[in-house]
Amino acid sequence: MAARGVSSAPESSLPLLQERLTRALTTARAAWPGVELEGVRFVSHLARLLPTQAPSEDVEKFHLPDVYLARAAADRLPSALNAFESSFLPEVNAAVARLKLPPTGLDEVRQLLRQRMLVGSADSPARLAAYPGTGPLSGWVRAAALWLALDWQRQRSGHPQADDGDLSLLVAPGDDPELLYLKNTYRAEFSTSFSAALGVLEPRQRNFLRLKYLDGLSIDQLGALYGVHRSTAARWVVAAQDALLQETRRLLTERLRLTGSQLDSVLRLISSQLDVNLSRLLRSKAD
């Protein structure tokens, strides 16, 4: 019935744990009458949201009714979908009011939010499954709506976008002269290879990287989103990163006549700033 933090509770504390979980389920269901998420499903989801080795009393720190509804809506329960639509989609209006979007823009943002939160895709489950429960769901939805609205506004502003995929941050003060020469001379090739390597990853691997480096999901949130332990989510992300770097190396080897040590030096730099480089590259592709 529980996992990770709650499953590791000493046997003597199990009655208290059971009481806390029962109370959590009762509190959550009372807030959303008619939304009947299975108790085991709710408790398992709470367990995945808890940090490793967290004390069982931390269950009570969650916004339990919001976690319950988010999980039920992500599971496509009709009653939960209706409740989310009526209670939380109006948050879009409140979030983007100051941006003064045209009606078409507001409609598009609502639709994008609905798609990401409630529908998802084969490679990206409904984002509500990643709601961490540490703050009100209304605030989480408003933040997502504002991000989507700003993105919509920026894409239609007509302002030229910076080339975020050029790996320009690879050049740093104090670089070895030879390495600095390589990076300045072959920057375009590095950027092209890095971008091409991202393109040949499996869709699921690309999505892991997008969720982590573009959308900013933590490992715990990724685990909750896909319904797996955080260690499994972490392995998936590491495997995607390794595949990206190995493919980048392969492509650079084809494009450039560099020694193995030179390639290793450049790839170490890409790896050391992977969060920056991936965020910029993914943003440029999203634009």
The verdict on pTM exceeding 0.75 is no
pLDDT at 48: 81
pLDDT at 1: 43
- How far, CA to CA in Å, does 14 sit from each of 52, 54, 212, 274, 282? 18, 15, 35, 43, 45
- How far, CA to CA in Å, does 140 sit from each of 127, 160, 179? 11, 30, 43
- Per-residue tens of pLDDT for the chain, all 287 residues: 444 444 444 444 556 667 888 888 999 999 999 999 999 999 888 888 876 666 767 777 888 999 999 999 999 999 999 999 999 988 888 778 777 888 888 899 899 888 888 887 666 778 888 888 877 888 888 878 887 887 787 777 654 343 333 444 344 444 444 455 555 556 677 778 888 888 888 888 888 888 887 777 888 888 878 888 888 988 999 999 889 888 888 887 777 766 666 667 666 666 666 666 677 777 665 55
Indicate the burial class of 177 (C-beta count within 10 angstroms; 0-12, 13-18, 19 or more): exposed
- Rounded to 10°, the helix 64-74/78-88 angle is 120
CA angle centred on 239, ends 218 and 245, rounded to 5°: 105
